[in-house]
């Protein structure tokens, strides 16, 4: 146990509630704020505003879906920053733009608050098992201070560099993940169009080493048409959009990931709340006479 308890979660959805469960099991006290006042299994105390939550917490952990939600919960009279004491720690596990992370770090520093951008790699199964990989941007001493928390929610911590670096690394990881899935789904589409048996095709791809364990999990789900959300399409497409925006700013050429972003934009329009592996269903639907 460290000196970072109690913990306040801003956002308590599928990922945060699983991280919170593991932190409680490790001995931490937690509370939460969400706009709806709901989340998790009902066992966690909710406070009415981010400011009230922050004032009641030694450390704040933000886990919100996008830049807009982060801004709404962090800034202003009722924002978390207004309730945090100088010297307090803010851990932002949200997948947001590097620009949003840098802005938050600067705003926190102006108040004497320590902010880390610490998005995580992994979906709900890894969050439940406590085997996430934490990708951190910030000062080394501040990362060390947060390490006891990271050790509970994850199996590894990667210190990517100064503020904003964790967010950049997260976009790279998710960009590769999205492009990899698109390649597998396109391979399935070709196989079906070329007349291969569907079961044989999915089973064959599940047996070869060129497909990652993550993508094999998605392949198995797509085989049986199970697109229950471990990572909703709307969030994956958002991360790809953030990657494209920052890549354009840095003049990095990412043509494969750009094409994947377009495929995921179509998939988001059709399956926003399903798992992003519903891209398989979208591409399968383009093959004539596919069952």
For the chain, state the CA radius of gyration: 20
Would you tell me how many other CB atoms lie within 10 Å of the CB of residue 225? 10
Closest CA to 64 of 80, 77, 45: 80
Who's near 36: CB < 8 A, 6+ residues apart?
none
Q: Which of 38, 85, 168, 170 is catalytic?
A: 170
d(CA 181, CA 175): 10
State the pairing for strand pair 7-10/59-62: parallel
170 is catalytic: yes
Who's near 100: CB < 8 A, 6+ residues apart?
67, 70, 71, 167
State the pairing for strand pair 30-33/45-46: parallel
d(CA 79, CA 61): 13
Active site amino acids: 170
């Amino acid at each position: 146990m460290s000196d970072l308890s109690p913990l306040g979660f801003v956002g308590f959805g599928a990922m945060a509630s699983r991280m919170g469960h593991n932190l409680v099991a490790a001995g931490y006290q937690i509370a939460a704020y969400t706009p709806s006042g709901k989340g998790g299994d009902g066992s966690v105390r909710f406070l009415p505003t981010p400011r009230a939550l922050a004032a009641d917490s030694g450390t704040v952990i933000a886990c919100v879906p996008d830049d807009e939600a982060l801004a709404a919960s962090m800034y202003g009279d009722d924002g978390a920053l207004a309730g945090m004491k100088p010297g307090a720690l803010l851990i932002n596990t949200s997948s947001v733009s590097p620009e949003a992370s840098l802005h938050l770090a600067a705003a926190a520093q102006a108040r004497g608050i320590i902010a880390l951008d610490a998005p995580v790699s992994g979906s709900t199964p890894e969050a439940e098992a406590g085997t996430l990989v934490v990708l951190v941007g910030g000062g080394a001493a501040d990362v060390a201070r947060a390490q006891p928390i990271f050790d509970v929610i994850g199996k590894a911590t990667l210190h990517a560099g100064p503020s904003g670096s964790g967010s950049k690394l997260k976009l790279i990881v998710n960009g590769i993940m999205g492009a990899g899935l698109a390649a597998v789904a396109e391979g399935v589409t070709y196989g079906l169009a070329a007349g291969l048996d569907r079961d044989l095709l999915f089973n064959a791809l599940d047996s070869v080493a060129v497909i990652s364990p993550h993508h094999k999990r998605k392949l198995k789900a797509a085989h049986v048409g199970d697109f229950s959300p471990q990572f909703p399409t709307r969030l994956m497409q958002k991360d790809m959009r953030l990657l494209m925006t920052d890549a354009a700013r840095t003049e990095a050429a990412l043509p494969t990931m750009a094409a994947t972003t377009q495929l995921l934009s179509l998939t988001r329009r059709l399956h926003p709340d399903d798992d992003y592996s519903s891209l398989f269903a979208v591409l399968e639907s383009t093959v004539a006479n596919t069952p």
